[in-house]
Structure 1
Amino acid sequence: MPTQPVLVYDGDCAFCTTSVTFLVRRLRPKCTVVPWQFADLDALGVTRRRAEYELLWITPGTTVYGGAQAVAKLLSKAGGAWAWLGAALTLPPVRWIAHGVYRLVAGNRHRLPGGSPACALPADRRPGVRPAG
């Protein structure tokens, strides 16, 4: 069981990797950052399908936050003014808007800078990825 929060992202997606690297470098949150492809998902209490679908923030008690709420937890853990922004992202109607924006970005990440056409494919159909099992 992790002793600090774990941020799980899609390491096969250049847009996701670039975004997470930028955020972690700038915010310096107190967490472990790992691509889902190298994470022990069973120990973290998440499925591969969920890890493929969205950014995940997993607390030491294995409470799982996904998508925009994972971003909110990341910002909150960074402290300072970022914590205020993270808190705002958890409140309705900001939470609803953040969810919509997250889904829009996630659904179009292959079109964004750093993204590639492989980002639009399910993880097991991406070039160079071995099938699970």
Structure 2
Amino acid sequence: MTHTFLYDGDCAFCTKAAQFLEKHVRTTAEVTPWQWADLAGLGVSQAQAEEAVIWVEANYQQAGPDAIAVLLRRAQWYWRPIGWFLSFKLVSKAAWPVYRLISRNRHKLPGGTAACSLPQAERDRLTGR
């Protein structure tokens, strides 16, 4: 199974962050929008995918900053120390509130759009999906 890193492809801020990852962080993962992924095949629910970025590999999943930590640990050698640092329990605990703050306000960040603040069902209704 390929490693997969899921992000919100309807969010411009998230997409820009994923593009940065693809350009600067060589990883073993397929970085893909959750909207284009086979969520059932990956063992991920839509609710989980809407909640946070997700790292998926065989019998193992992480979300939010923990997913980012795994991705960095599986990247080039110079990203790995950051991934290991983010993996420390106290750092991870501190990272979650920061992640949630950014996630809730991503529509206000550079590259963010108003759509970033809407739940997926509302985005689907507006776009006719």
TM range (shorter): over 0.9
Aligned to 1:73: 70
Q: Unmatched 5+ residue regions in structure 2?
A: none
Choose the corresponding residue for 2:121, options 102, 120, 124.
124
Question: CA separation in 2, counterparts of 1:129 and 1:54?
Answer: 24
Q: Relative to structure 1, is the Cα distance of residues 86 and 111 closer, same or farther in structure 2, using a 3 angstrom cutoff?
A: same
1:44-55 maps to which residues of 2 (within 5 A)?
44-55=42-53
Q: What is the CA-CA distance between 1:129 and the residue it aligns to?
A: 4.9
Aligned to 1:40: 38
Any conservation in 1 of the 2:26–2:76 contact (CA below 8 Å)? no
Q: Residues 5-64 of structure 1, C-alpha deviation per residue, up to 9 Å, x if partnerless?
A: 1011100000000001112210111111211111100010010011011100001x1411
Output the TM-score relative to the length of structure 1: 0.91
**Identity, % of aligned positions:** 42
Count of residue pairs the alignment pairs up? 127
Q: Which moved more, 1:38-47 or 1:91-100?
A: 91-100
Q: Does residue 1:83 correspond to 2:80, yes or no?
A: yes
Q: What is the CA-CA distance between 1:100 and the residue it aligns to?
A: 1.5
Q: Residues 89-112 of structure 1, C-alpha deviation per residue, up to 9 Å, x if partnerless?
A: 111211111112111111110110
Question: CA separation in 1, counterparts of 2:60 and 2:104?
Answer: 24
Q: What is the CA-CA distance between 1:4 and the residue it aligns to?
A: 2.0
What is the root-mean-square deviation in Å for CA atoms of aligned residues?
1.1
Which amino acid letter does the alignment assign opposite residue 76 of structure 1? R
Q: Unmatched 5+ residue regions in structure 1?
A: none
Q: Relative to structure 1, is the Cα distance of residues 129 and 56 closer, same or farther in structure 2, using a 3 angstrom cutoff?
A: farther
Q: Residues 94-133 of structure 1, C-alpha deviation per residue, up to 9 Å, x if partnerless?
A: 1111112111111110110111111111011113151xxx
Q: Secondary structure at the match of 1:57?
A: strand
Any conservation in 2 of the 1:29–1:77 contact (CA below 8 Å)? yes
